[in-house]
Amino acid sequence: MKTNRSCPVVLIGLYAVFFFIGCAATPDTPRKEMRPVADGQAPKTLAILPFENNSVTDPDHFAPLSKGLSAMLITDLNKNGSALKLIERSKIESLLKEVALSQGGSVDPSTAVRVGKILGAQSIAFGSFMVIGDRVRMDVRIIKVETSEMIVSESITGSSNSFMVLEGKLAKKIADSLRVVLIPTATGWESNMKAALSFSKGLEALDQGNKAEAKQLFRNSIDLDPAFQGQVDSLEGLK
């Protein structure tokens, strides 16, 4: 009996097509489902949930980035010159444990709104990331908690070796959509994926109460990429 060896190739090809569909749109492509946030109507508090891991390449290996990506966005968006307030990561983590929402699990708009109300946030962000080979895509949506209205939908794609740079660009897109002015953060054009994974694993260790392991993983992330020093310095509960 012959085995059809073309099936895996076809499946990988289909994944690649879906992965890069969002890249075909230019920055000027209109988002018909979105409406710009009017002056004075931008939400003043934002909670960012862990991201869903949709990776095709070794999903278990990249699973820690679910927490890592959201933590990095919280840190960067906190560097703003407006009244926007970010809900603390530790507060979000505690709530997610209470409602038994697993790390990296799928979050639909109704669940996001429910979590946002409990956190006392006016808006809540959730999304996903996908790694295929040496490419990564990040998608995020932000919903206004009171009305369940989607006010932001952004995505970005690039090299996995520029993970922190891509995250910074996504933070800038979110800030622009919410009319938030960010303080620029200096980063190199290459950001080691190993550093991002080590930082993310450090968050997992910290959440489990293992500070010694967390500190070692954070030191390793900084050794691999000094740009992570700012991310580590922003963490609460590490000292």
Angstrom distances, CA of residue 120 to CA of 16, 41, 114, 145: 39, 17, 10, 9
Half-sphere exposure of 209 (CA within 13 A, CB side): 1
The C-alpha atoms of residue 79 and residue 168 are separated, in whole angstroms, by: 12
Higher pLDDT, 40 or 156: 156
pLDDT tens-digit map of 33-60: 444 444 445 668 999 999 999 999 999 9
Query: 8 pLDDT exceeds 70?
Result: no
Mean pLDDT for the stretch of residues 118-137? 94
Residue 30 clears pLDDT 60, i.e. is over it: no
Q: Which two tokens stand for residue 94?
A: 């505690």
Q: Is the pLDDT confidence value at 167 over 50?
A: yes
Domain 42-188: give its CATH architecture. 3-Layer(aba) Sandwich (3.40)
* CA-to-CA dists, residue 12 to 18, 60, 170, 182, angstroms: 10, 18, 26, 38
Average pLDDT for residues 101-130, to the nearest whole number? 83
The pLDDT, as a whole number, for residue 22 is 47
When mean pLDDT is compared over 95-99, 137-141, 148-152, 227-231, the highest value belongs to 137-141
Gyration radius of the chain over CA positions: 18
Q: What is the distance between the alpha carbons of residues 187 and 177, in angstroms, rounded to a whole number? A: 22
What average pLDDT does range 112-124 have in this prediction? 92
| pTM of the entire predicted model | 0.81
| 105 compared with 202, residue with greater pLDDT | 202
What mean pLDDT, rounded, does the chain reach? 81
- How confident is the model over 21-26, as a mean pLDDT? 42
Domain positions in the chain are 42-188
Assign 109 a pLDDT band (cuts: 50, 70, 90).
confident
pLDDT above 70: percentage of residues in the chain: 74
Residue-level pLDDT at 88? 93
Output the pLDDT for position 63. Answer: 96
Q: What is the pLDDT of residue 43?
A: 66
**Residue 135 pLDDT more than 80?**
yes
Q: Cα separations (Å) of 125 from 45, 74, 85? A: 11, 10, 13
The tokens for 92 are: 């979000």
Q: What is the pLDDT of residue 177?
A: 87
Q: Which pLDDT score, from 0 to 100, does residue 42 have?
A: 60
